[in-house]
């Protein structure tokens, strides 16, 4: 089931692909009209929080256009790499780029006491772009080197959607990245086609010989 997270800047982000690296790919422009969501530092910073890559309340003042460029580059490499894997091939150039980032160190976390004594996550230091890229790249490496996860990799069958997701459903028969979004669109389109066919058939029966 897709998860929708409302960001601090008024953005609504869709998650639920099963991997943060796949959620990153979904933020970009696809061949069938998906729009660019990282239009500047603000949306990227908002996504980093909504995705859980940094804890809520983290100050992301350092996010700038350089961050946007680097995250877009990783997104492109992951998309190319996973598309090649789905096709039974490989993309060594994209793999080299993802591996290089995955070799970095992800952000350091620690648990601190919040109000009421509950433990909450925080970062050891202000986040650095390379650390966050490393976290996403490592997730992609984990996916590709896990036979069960790789076998569950799918591309949405929605007519206007090309999202990648992991099919963890019973029987592995899930066709859409989101039953509520793409699945519902397909059901509505199917209903319209049936209705149109019935109307067309009725008009032909009523037509004079």
The tens digit of pLDDT for each residue in 67-95 reads 999 999 999 999 999 999 988 888 999 99
Q: Give the model's pLDDT for residue 173.
A: 77
Domains and CATH numbers, the chain: 3-206 (1.10.3300.10)
8-state DSSP, 107: P
* Rounded Cα–Cα distance for residues 207 and 209 (Å): 7
**What is each CA distance from 78 to 26, 73, 91, 97, 172, in whole angstroms?**
11, 9, 10, 9, 23
The tens digit of pLDDT for each residue in 126-185 reads 999 999 999 999 999 999 999 999 999 998 887 777 789 999 888 777 777 766 667 565
Contact 60, 127 (CB under 8 A): yes
36-45, 167-176, 196-205: range with lowest mean pLDDT? 196-205
Q: Is the pLDDT of residue 203 over 70?
A: no
pTM above 0.85, yes or no: no
Contacts for 109 with CB less than 8 Å, ≥ 6 apart: 55, 121, 122, 123, 124
Neighbours of 41 (CB within 10 A): 17
Encoded tokens for 90 = 């490989």
8-state DSSP, 173: -
How sure is the predictor about 33, in pLDDT bands with cuts at 50, 70 and 90? very low
**What is each CA distance from 192 to 32, 49, 119, 174, 196, in whole angstroms?**
21, 39, 52, 22, 6
């Amino acid at each position: 089931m897709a998860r929708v997270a409302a960001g601090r800047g008024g953005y609504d982000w869709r998650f639920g692909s099963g991997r943060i690296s796949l959620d990153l790919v979904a933020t970009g422009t696809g061949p069938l009209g998906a729009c660019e969501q990282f239009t500047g530092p603000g949306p990227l910073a908002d996504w980093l929080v909504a995705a859980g890559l940094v804890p809520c309340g983290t100050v992301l003042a350092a996010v700038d256009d350089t961050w946007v460029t680097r995250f877009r580059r990783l997104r492109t490499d992951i998309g190319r790499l996973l598309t090649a894997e789905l096709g039974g091939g490989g993309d060594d150039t994209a793999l080299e780029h993802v591996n290089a980032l995955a070799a970095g160190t992800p952000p350091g976390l620690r648990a601190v006491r919040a109000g009421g004594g509950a433990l909450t996550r925080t970062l050891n230091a202000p986040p650095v772009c390379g650390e966050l890229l490393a976290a996403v790249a490592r997730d992609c490496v984990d996916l590709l080197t896990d036979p069960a996860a790789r076998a569950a990799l799918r591309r949405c069958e929605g007519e206007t959607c090309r999202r990648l997701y992991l099919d963890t459903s019973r029987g592995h028969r899930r066709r859409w990245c989101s039953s509520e979004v793409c699945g519902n669109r397909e059901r509505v389109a199917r209903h319209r086609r049936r209705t149109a066919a019935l109307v067309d058939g009725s008009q032909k029966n009523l037509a004079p010989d």
